[in-house]
Amino acid sequence: MSFRRRSLGFTMLELSVTIGLVVLLLTLSSISYRRANKRTEIILTAQELASTLRLAENYAASAKTVENNPDYNIWGLYFDKTDNRKITMFVDKNKNGLYDGETEKYKVINLPQQIRVDKLLYDARNDSTVNQVSITFVPPDPKVRMCSHSSGNCTNAWITDPVANPKFNSESWTNFYLILADDLNNSSKDVNVNFFGMIDTR
């Protein structure tokens, strides 16, 4: 009586199919992870900008100065839709509420390659867009000042401070929205600053 010994291993075909399935699953999960990671890019960017606004607000609240000059304690962020891949944090040295260039620059935040500043809105209800905006925080409270650069100064532009500019109705000028756009995933995210200094993302 003869017995055939049964093989306990895998055939080459079985191994090839198994390895192929594992490679396919790893490839699909990697693609899915990369897509999800790109989608979160705009969320992280909006949160970083909100954090930078809060940092400027905290610097003003603590009267942080630069160049050992006690007058250089008004901190802000400058947004430019025409140069829509970066945001500038600055110190308002001449106290006019506007970013005046290199002498006031503190640091520049470069946005990720796929993300840009899409809109700057100072009244979202009426879709009131502007191209350049400075948001400053004036110690000690700090007070929030929002200024359009179209007129060259804050007093002739829009400003959410009814005490300094009583002709502006504070109920109509209480919010600023920075809309970010993600060109890769066709999505958007906004950062909101209100008259009371509350900063959030939506």
| pLDDT tens digits along 33-59 | 665 555 689 999 999 999 999 999 999
| pLDDT tens digits along 21-30 | 888 888 777 7
| pLDDT tens digits along 106-149 | 999 999 989 999 998 876 555 677 889 899 999 988 888 888 88
Q: What was the pLDDT predicted at 7?
A: 57
| Residue at 33: amino acid letter | Y
| 175 in Cβ contact with 184 (< 8 Å) | no
What are the φ and ψ backbone dihedral angles of 127, each rounded to 5 degrees?
55, 45
Omega of the bond prior to 140 within 30 degrees of 0, cis? yes
Cβ contacts of 68 within 8 Å, gap of 6 or more? none
Global pTM? Answer: 0.74
Distance CA 107, CA 89 (A): 5
Q: What was the pLDDT predicted at 150?
A: 74
